[in-house]
Amino acid sequence: MMKKSQQCSIKKTLIHTIMLVTASCLSLSIGISTYLSVKEQKKLIINKLTILCEIVAFDAAPSLIDSNRTNEELRLKFFSHIPLIKNIHVYKIDAFSNKPSFFMSYNAKKTPPVPLRIDSIDKLMTPKVTNNIVEIIRPIIYADKTIGHIYMRGSLESLNEYIKKKLILLCILVSIVLTTVYLFTLNIQRRVAEPLTKLSLMLKGVAKSHNYDTQFESCNIKEINQLSQSLNIMLTRINSHMQRHEKDKLEIKTLNLELEGKVNKRTVALREANQELLLTLEKMHQYQNQIVENEKMASLGQMVAGVAHEVNTPIGLGITGSTLLRDNLIEIESHFKNQTLTSGQLKKFITSGSESLDLIYRNLNKAADLINNFKKLAVIEDDNVNTEIKIHTLINDVFLSIKSEIAPFSPVLHILCSTELVIESKVDSLQQILQQLILNSVTHGFENQVNNEITIEVERTHGQITLTYSDNGVGVNKEFKHKLFDPFVTSKRGQGASGLGLHLVYNLVTQSLGGRIHYDTENKIGSRFIITLF
């Protein structure tokens, strides 16, 4: 909201402005005039005292030569008729010591004597003004030789009287001028304010009654007359717009009635179309549910096929071993019943049976491991709670715990993480993730047994933990990049790999830890996984 400005009337503004300008100009002119006048009067008084002092010095020469104090005293008494002079000292220069000494003085009535100024002769050669007192000294010269000095002390009281009379006169003059200007301003204000007041009242009437046919009368002031003409033009245009507005309102009302009819018709049509759309949508939901069920069954079929394929081989090999063992057992039993069993046959049976049992044991264990891994994918253990973990120590411990399994490839681990960084997460899930990633690098990434490196970088930014795992192995083929985290996807099928490691990592990150993981497809060297934990 705009701050409301303080309002003022033209009458007060005009009077105050003119009176202020007039008073300022008068004050300035009177001040300058008075200052210059006083300065000139003061200069005239000083000059007058200087001339009088020089006359006294000229007339005092004979009295000093004759040492006639009586004659000089009578002559100085004549200065009682000059109020300007208050004190006069006559100093005579001693012929032997060549120093001035007091000779004669004059003091005006009611004026006390002043101390001698013998020590200030040089200073007072130039008139000195102090507290309305003027002091001056002039030499007494006779035959081009200074025989004495005249000290004269005068008063500036006449200047003060002059200033007082001048100020009284100026105050009277200012009063007359201000009164005249005030009356003149009232006349101007009346000529300007009355038309404006009339204009304002007419505008209020128009705003209240909305009668835009009103026209303002012209006046004898050009600017106000131009304003009235502009307002008349504006009112004429407003009246025209109002008439057009009323006409437009009638047209809009008619159009609204027509539009309302069209809207009602189209609403009925839209309701029918919506009904058809709802029916279609219901059918689409049915089709969608059917498609989802089909996709679920297809996905389940793929998973079952994968499990069957992975488990079938070790179980088949176990069955083959058990069948061979059973045939050998029947053969050795026949020889035993017929008492034709030889030590060579028994030794061959024992050797063959041991091999068959080893084959059965290995493949049954492999099948059991596959079933356990599959169970981990189906149900992720989530009963462990968050604890504070020193991530650097955890990574190092996990690497040392599986060092014997990855010994043939001897990878070098680089941990880019502060040893003091503590995060809050689930220890078991993090351990499984790190183990699976390291084993994945050893199984799929490293081809040679030298120069293998694993780098794990952990940093905390904006309240989240980013764990970047990378190796310098062969990387991932393009055909596997888009399905890297799917179950039973492996590049070494039939070579001991199940294709469940990275799928287990994905489930642990997203479900157990509530984070996200993605494979960096722009990485050029080896494999790079980025895990983000919130």
Q: Find the CATH number of the domain harbouring 496.
A: 3.30.565.10
200 domain residue, yes or no: no
Query: In Å, what is the CA distance from 25 to each residue of 12, 31, 279?
Result: 20, 10, 94
Give CA–CA dist 232/485, Å, rounded. Answer: 83
Q: Are 414 and 471 in contact (CB under 8 A)?
A: no
132 domain residue, yes or no: yes
Q: Are 148 and 90 in contact (CB under 8 A)?
A: yes
Query: In Å, what is the CA distance from 234 to each residue of 10, 198, 224, 394?
Result: 24, 18, 15, 85
Strand ranges across the sheet with 412-416: 412-416, 453-461, 464-471, 528-533, 516-519
Helix (H) / strand (E) element for 468: namely strand 464-471
Q: State which of 151, 176, 201 marks the end of a domain.
A: 176
Which residue in the block uniquely carries the two structure tokens 């009323």? 246
Q: State which of 126, 153, 176 marks the end of a domain.
A: 176
For residue range 66-93, what is the model confidence (pLDDT) as tens digits?
A: 888 888 888 888 888 888 898 999 999 9
Spell out the residues 6+ positions from residue 453 whose beta carbon is closer than 8 angstroms to its own. 411, 412, 413, 414, 471, 472
Give CA–CA dist 373/311, Å, rounded. Answer: 12
Quote the pLDDT of residue 135: 93
Quote the pLDDT of residue 529: 96
466 domain residue, yes or no: yes
234 domain residue, yes or no: no
- Each residue's pLDDT expressed in tens, for the chain with a length of 534 residues: 445 556 666 667 777 788 888 888 888 888 888 888 888 888 888 899 899 899 888 888 888 888 888 888 888 888 888 888 989 999 999 878 888 999 989 998 888 899 998 888 888 889 998 888 899 999 999 888 889 999 999 988 887 888 888 888 888 888 898 888 888 888 777 777 777 777 777 878 777 877 777 777 777 777 777 777 787 888 888 888 888 888 888 888 888 888 888 888 888 888 888 888 888 878 776 765 565 455 445 445 545 655 666 677 778 878 887 888 888 888 888 888 888 888 888 888 888 888 888 888 887 887 777 676 665 544 444 445 789 999 999 999 999 988 888 888 889 999 999 999 999 999 989 999 999 999 999 988 998 888 999 999 999 988 899 999 999 999 988 888 888 888 877 877 666 677 788 988 999 999 889 999 999 988 888 999 999 998
- Which structural domain range is residue 148 located in? 10-176
Give CA–CA dist 22/30, Å, rounded. Answer: 12
Give CA–CA dist 134/154, Å, rounded. Answer: 5
Quote the pLDDT of residue 89: 92
For the chain, the domain total comes to: 2
Quote the pLDDT of residue 506: 93
Q: Are 517 and 530 in contact (CB under 8 A)?
A: yes
525 domain residue, yes or no: yes
Neighbours of 341 (CB within 10 A): 16
Instruction: Give the CATH number of the domain where residue 21 resides.
Output: 3.30.450
DSSP state, 2?
P
39 domain residue, yes or no: yes
Structure tokens at 139: 């030499």
Strands (DSSP E) along 121-190, which ranges? 128-130, 133-142, 145-155
Burial class for 322, CB neighbours closer than 10 Å (0-12, 13-18, 19+): middle
For residue range 248-293, what is the model confidence (pLDDT) as tens digits?
A: 888 888 888 888 888 888 888 888 888 888 888 787 767 655 654 5
> Nearest Cα to 437, choosing from 373, 372, 514, 527?
527
Quote the pLDDT of residue 309: 63
Angle, helices 222-337/157-209, rounded to nearest 10 degrees: 70
309 domain residue, yes or no: no
Structure tokens at 53: 């002092």
User: Measured in whole angstroms, how far is the alpha carbon of residue 99 from the centre of its chain?
Assistant: 85
Provide, rounded to the nearest whole percent, the portion of the chain with pLDDT above 90.
20
Spell out the residues 6+ positions from residue 254 whose beta carbon is closer than 8 angstroms to its own. none
Q: State which of 176, 211, 241 marks the end of a domain.
A: 176
Give CA–CA dist 469/438, Å, rounded. Answer: 9
337 domain residue, yes or no: no
User: Which 3 state secondary structure label does DSSP give 115?
Assistant: coil
Give CA–CA dist 362/369, Å, rounded. Answer: 11
Quote the pLDDT of residue 375: 59
Give CA–CA dist 269/275, Å, rounded. Answer: 10
Which residue in the block uniquely carries the two structure tokens 């715990």? 401
Quote the pLDDT of residue 322: 85
Spell out the residues 6+ positions from residue 108 whose beta carbon is closer than 8 angstroms to its own. 79, 80, 83, 85, 86, 87
